[in-house]
Amino acid sequence: MARIFLALMIVACAMVACAPSSGDSGDSGSTAANESKPAGGTDEASNEEGKKLFTQYCAVCHGPDGKLGLNGAKDLTVSETTLEERIEQVTHGKNAMVPFENVLTKEQIEAVAKYTMTLKQ
C-alpha cells in the first residue's frame, strides 16, 4: 500500500512540475520557461521570483518551509549543499526529483536555488 502511495505521489509531483503555468495561452511558442523571468535582475526581484517558482514547483514535495520531506525530498532548512550544487540538482534532478532544465530557464533555476538558501536555519 505504501509503495502504491509513493508511486502515485511521484507521478503527481511530476505532473505538477511539468504542467504549464496558469498563464500559458497554449501557443506552441509559449512555455513556463518563457513566461516569468526575474524582473530587473535585482536580488529582491530574483528572490521573489524564486519564492514564487519554489511554491509552484517545489513546495509539493519540500513543503512551503522546505521541511516537508515528501517522496524523499530533503529538508532544505538543514541542507549543507552549496548554491552551485542546488542549481545542479534543480537543473538535472536527483533520485525522485524531476529535472527542471526543460521547464525553467537558467535564470529561473538560479532564482529558485538562491531562494532555497534563504530557508536554511
- pTM greater than 0.75: no
* Residue 86 covered by a domain: yes
Q: For the residues 3-17, what does the mean pLDDT come to? A: 49
Report DSSP state, residue 29: T
List, for residues 52-74, the tens digit of each pLDDT value. Answer: 999 999 999 999 999 999 999 99
Helices of type H across 42-94: 43-53, 59-62, 83-92
Look at the alpha carbons of 96, 15, 76, 53 in this order and tell me if their dihedral is positive or negative.
positive
* Residue 102 covered by a domain: yes
Cβ-Cβ contacts under 8 Å for 36 (sequence gap 6 or more): 21, 23, 49, 52, 53, 108
* Residue 28 covered by a domain: no
Q: In the Cβ-directed half-sphere of 7, how many Cα atoms lie within 13 Å?
A: 4
* Residue 29 covered by a domain: no
* Residue 72 covered by a domain: yes
